[in-house]
Copies of this chain bind each other. A is one copy, B any other.
């Protein structure tokens, strides 16, 4: 089964990169055109080779436009790497892989930002050019940068994530600039709509994908204030993260590696939490309805199925 479900009203999703982008894609496919707004983490944006790289925005745009690489999980499908080969030949920094097609996004974005456009405006242009039937919004047009206190000192996110391949032990996470950042106005307005159907916290890393969004002044408060159901989906299945360092970070921060730990972390903010169907039934959590569903998204059908399960769960909590 596919296509829009019966119940109307806009939906807001909060997303980091790959996992979140997949569920956002599933949600877009279930909802009428324009009903989905995705608020995306920009805490792992960085300047590289003079270009503004926005990994999570790109992952969401690629997933929603059908351009994402289905195997690697990041970057574009049908990619080539001749730029990187030439850059290496010139003695340039080559620790961050930029595909030839992917590079168009970074160059075009950076050029427009340099000429005064906002990150929101550039992203909206990309979504229009790629016929994306959802709004994709950065959490803020102001810079917020995730920085990690680790066993190897203070590291910028991409230095930790890509350059050092998540090897250092994480002791603390901070979102530099978050205090002064203004929430993206449409993002805030979407969360404040009285007809909001649901807020979905996608299966993204809580520490470095979701919490940067919640750290932007006004966004957490708007989620707390909405009468709409707020549902989060586990990024942990069977004690492991599907992708990325979420499980490793949980361990290093002294927490049990389980969906339940993530659910407790979101307690007070969420009304419902989706655990994976393969995990055991959890202990009850005060104020949080629990549901199990198939959260591993390997096919587009998996995305559709999880999106429907999340929307039905939300609608049942009204």
From residue A85, how far is it (CB to closest CB) to chain B in Å?
7
B residues near A89, Cβ cutoff 8 Å? 104, 129-130
From residue A120, how far is it (CB to closest CB) to chain B in Å?
16
Asked if A66 is an interface residue, CB under 8 A from chain B, the answer is: no
Chain A's interface size range is 35 or more
- Cβ-defined contact, A105 with B86, below 8 A: yes
B residues near A103, Cβ cutoff 8 Å? 83, 86, 100, 103, 107
Q: Which of A29-37, A110-118, A177-185 binds B?
A: A110-118
B residues near A100, Cβ cutoff 8 Å? 80, 82-83, 86, 100, 103
| Shortest Cβ distance from A128 into B: residue | B91
Question: A49 to B112, alpha carbons, bound, how many Å?
Answer: 8
B residues near A87, Cβ cutoff 8 Å? 104, 107-108
Asked if A92 is an interface residue, CB under 8 A from chain B, the answer is: yes
From residue A68, how far is it (CB to closest CB) to chain B in Å?
13
- Cβ-defined contact, B92 with A104, below 8 A: yes
Contact of A104 among B80, B86, B111, B130 (CB under 8 A): B86
From residue A117, how far is it (CB to closest CB) to chain B in Å?
11
B residues near A129, Cβ cutoff 8 Å? 89-91
B residues near A130, Cβ cutoff 8 Å? 89-90
From residue A181, how far is it (CB to closest CB) to chain B in Å?
24
- Cβ-defined contact, A86 with B76, below 8 A: yes
Question: A100 to B110, alpha carbons, bound, how many Å?
Answer: 17
B residues near A101, Cβ cutoff 8 Å? 82-83, 85-86
- Cβ-defined contact, A90 with B105, below 8 A: yes
B residues near A56, Cβ cutoff 8 Å? none
> Which residues between 170 and 197 of chain A lie within 8 Å of chain B, taking CB atoms?
none
Contact of A51 among B82, B107, B125 (CB under 8 A): B107
Asked if A50 is an interface residue, CB under 8 A from chain B, the answer is: yes
User: Which of A87, A102, A103 gathers most chain B CB within 10 Å?
Assistant: A103
Q: A50-B110, A86-B101, A91-B129 are in contact. List 11 more A-B contacts (CB 8 A).
A: A49-B108, A51-B107, A82-B82, A84-B104, A86-B102, A87-B107, A90-B125, A90-B129, A91-B126, A92-B107, A100-B100
When A and B form their complex, which 3 residue pairs have the shortest distance between CB atoms, in order from nearest? A50-B111, A86-B104, A86-B101
